[in-house]
Amino acid sequence: MSVWDTIVRQLVNGLIMGSFYSLVALGYSMVYGIIKLLNFAHGDIYMVGAFVGFFVFGAIAVLLGGGWFSIILAMISAMLFCGVLAWLAQRLAYRPLLNKAAPRLSLLITAIGISLILYNAVSVITKGQFKFMNTALSPTAGLTFGAITISWIQVVLVLTSALLMVLLSWFIGSTMWGKAMRAISLDKDTCRLMGINVNMIIGITFFIGGALAAVAGVMACVYYGQIHFFMGYIMGIKAFTAAVIGGIGSLPGAMLGGLLLGILEAAGTQIDFIGSQWKDVFSFGLLIIMLLFKPTGLLGVTEIERM
């Protein structure tokens, strides 16, 4: 395989991984931007989305086949389930603390608690076993460029991620709910005085973040063909890394950080002294470097907080 073929292959792999990171990182940034919470349960919502998609796909594939139509229905089901799950988490766990103006540390500990609940619940339900997803999609059919074949699965996953990111950007920038989210991120108290239902907007933010995480989970299930109850942990940390690299609280930054992290990871595996077994060390090394030299991230801004 030539150098050019290797570059193209790793670029495609990086875009796939980066798409997963970006979709989950968007949830991190949306929640942090609006209530300044690092929602560490978000990675486990991604994991729950993968399992919901897996079980729904298995139920309907018997009748409709294992093609794209069944995958789309499974993805929509996972989005609704995880959106409601994220909304319930903020309604039952986060909102009471926010209404009492609890310290951020209390919110952070609560998020870790929810993460552990989801993690252990799925572990018990699945008995800690790997689940394997078999679709009717051909892993070899696709676009061929010399010695490189880009499968239709890879094409569809990247395009789906790009479409969702564009739709989210439009929603945040052009709709009344999106404008309300941006206003609340600046000053919640003033928004209440202006008649904005702050609690409802925060709930919508969690719902959208959970739905995006579910999409990433189902996409990972289709792409890798297997899922497990601890897959949310490493994805949550990687997505958080992507959000920090791009600038925590910045939606364009989350998209850029996710794609950049995925591409750098794929490229790093080609370095002799790194390899695939060291890719996580490579990723977190990038995080440390970013925090040392540009802690606000690539597209983040410095915030001044009055005490």
Our count of domains for the chain comes to 1
**Per-residue pLDDT at 277 exceeds 90:** no
| pLDDT band for position 287 (cuts 50, 70, 90) | confident
**Per-residue pLDDT at 166 exceeds 70:** yes
Residues in the chain: 307
pLDDT (0 to 100) of residue 209: 93
pLDDT (0 to 100) of residue 306: 52
Asked whether residue 304 is domain-assigned, the answer is no
Residue 162, number of CB atoms within 10 A of its CB: 15
**Residue 158 to residue 166: CA distance in whole angstroms:** 12
Asked whether residue 217 is domain-assigned, the answer is yes
**Residue 212 to residue 227: CA distance in whole angstroms:** 18
Q: What value does the mean pLDDT take over residues 240-269?
A: 86
Asked whether residue 119 is domain-assigned, the answer is yes
- Is the Cβ–Cβ distance between 156 and 68 less than 8 Å? yes
| Tokens read off for 102 | 């609890």
CATH (domain of 279)? 1.10.3470
Domain housing 31: 3-293
pLDDT (0 to 100) of residue 62: 86
Strands 142-145 and 148-151: antiparallel
Asked whether residue 177 is domain-assigned, the answer is yes
**Residue 245 to residue 254: CA distance in whole angstroms:** 8
Per-residue pLDDT tens over the stretch 169-203:
899 988 999 999 999 988 888 999 988 999 999 99
Q: What value does the mean pLDDT take over residues 137-156?
A: 78
Per-residue pLDDT tens over the stretch 205-233:
999 999 999 999 999 999 888 999 989 98
pLDDT (0 to 100) of residue 307: 47
Asked whether residue 110 is domain-assigned, the answer is yes
Per-residue pLDDT tens over the stretch 17-37:
899 999 999 988 999 888 888
Which pairs from 269-277 meet CB under 8 Å and 24+ separation?
269/10, 270/6, 270/10
**Per-residue pLDDT at 138 exceeds 60:** yes
Per-residue pLDDT tens over the stretch 65-112:
888 899 999 999 999 999 999 999 999 999 998 888 788 888 889 999
User: Letter for the amino acid at 54?
Assistant: F
DSSP string across 56-92: HHHHHHHHH-SSHHHHHHHHHHHHHHHHHHHHHHIII
